[in-house]
Amino acid sequence: MIEVKNVSYTYMKKTPFEKTALQEISFNVNEGDFLAIAGHTGSGKSTLIQIIAGLIDLENGVVEIDGETIKNKTARRKIGIVFQYPEYQLFEETVEKDIAFGPRNFGLSESEISVRVNEAMKFVDLEESLKNVSPFELSGGQKRRVAIAGILALKPKYLILDEPTAGLDPKAKKNLLAEIKKLHRAGVTIIFVSHAMEDIAVLANRVIVLAQGKILFEGEPRKLFGQAEILERAGLLPPPVSQVMQKFLRAGFNVSTEIITLDEAEKELKKIFSAR
Ligand SMILES: Nc1ncnc2c1ncn2[C@@H]1O[C@H](COP(=O)(O)OP(=O)(O)OP(=O)(O)O)[C@@H](O)[C@H]1O
Ligand SMILES: [Mg+2]
């Protein structure tokens, strides 16, 4: 379990540029969760996940991983973090070396590294023949998969992804989301930062909405999307499916406000129209 207790954070404290990014944030992430963190630009999402990963030193509050402070290396090693646009962090001469970089830093044996590189490449659907290619010769979607494979090769128990589908075309986006889902099914606990409510709707079992560094909502996605006021305050829109269902509701149809996926909407609408 990840425990975040009373975390506050201010950038450039005691300077004219002082900026409070997080205020009194507390929540837990349970093993097996697929937790989404949503919020308007500047709401504190990236700051929060960097704190969870132990990349920003805390002055106020505590982060514990399975009961151990994130200040300890053993706790930090349970967390993998994929930054937004991770492909910009590729730097090795070959795909293989790039993916092996983290495991090598962990001091693993060469045979173990090789097994992990192969597994990670397979997981993200990168062909073995790409191993000796320079990452810079790959397409955008492939580069991103190399970057993610590099994190997977560390076998994190908890995986944090900061807007992993930003800038991908629809097909690459769909593939990546399917891979993340597969990882979750394989037992990895996921923290997924996203603006895309339709992705959150189909993937996450819990969502935290941040606004101006505070938690505005925490709970099941389907409980969030009917709450127009909270969404408005957070600067977010419900997924298109929910918007359509709300239009039906306002037009006097007896539809559920908790419908959030296309499949659910199809069933509900068939029910209404077959009753006529
Ligand atoms: N290195 C920094 N120095 C100073 N202020 C920062 C720094 N990083 C972030 N901030 C400020 O802290 C606040 C929260 O930023 P953060 O990057 O966590 O937001 P975010 O929710 O990830 O936004 P986005 O959706 O745009 O990625 C913003 O007001 C931002 O301007
Ligand atoms: Mg961010």
| Nearest ligand for residue 236 CA | 1
What pLDDT is attached to residue 50? 96
* pLDDT tens digits along 83-95: 988 888 898 999 9
Q: Please state, for a pLDDT cut of 70, what percent of the chain lies above it.
A: 100
| Neighbouring C-alpha atoms within 13 Å toward the C-beta of 268 | 20
Instruction: Tell me if residue 67 falls in helix, strand or coil.
Output: coil
Atom of ligand 1 nearest to the CA of 213: 14
**SS (HEC) of 74-130:** HHHCCEEEECCCHHHHCCCCCHHHHHHHHHHHCCCCHHHHHHHHHHHHHHCCCCHHH
What pLDDT is attached to residue 44? 96
What pLDDT is attached to residue 76? 95
| Neighbouring C-alpha atoms within 13 Å toward the C-beta of 204 | 29
* pLDDT tens digits along 120-171: 999 998 999 999 999 999 988 899 999 999 999 999 999 999 999 988 888 8
Average pLDDT, the chain: 93
What pLDDT is attached to residue 105? 92
Q: What's the gap in Å between 183 CA and the centre of ligand 1?
A: 28
The domains of the chain are located at 2-221
Backbone angles phi, psi at 61, to 5 degrees: 110, 175
* pLDDT tens digits along 8-58: 999 999 999 999 999 999 999 999 999 999 999 999 999 999 999 999 999
Q: What's the gap in Å between 42 CA and the centre of ligand 1?
A: 5
This prediction has a pTM of 0.92
What is the fold of 2-221? Rossmann fold (3.40.50)
- Residues with CB under 6 Å of ligand 1 are 11-12, 19, 21, 39, 41-47
Ligand 1 pocket: which of 20, 43, 52, 214 to mutate (most atoms <8 Å of CB)? 43
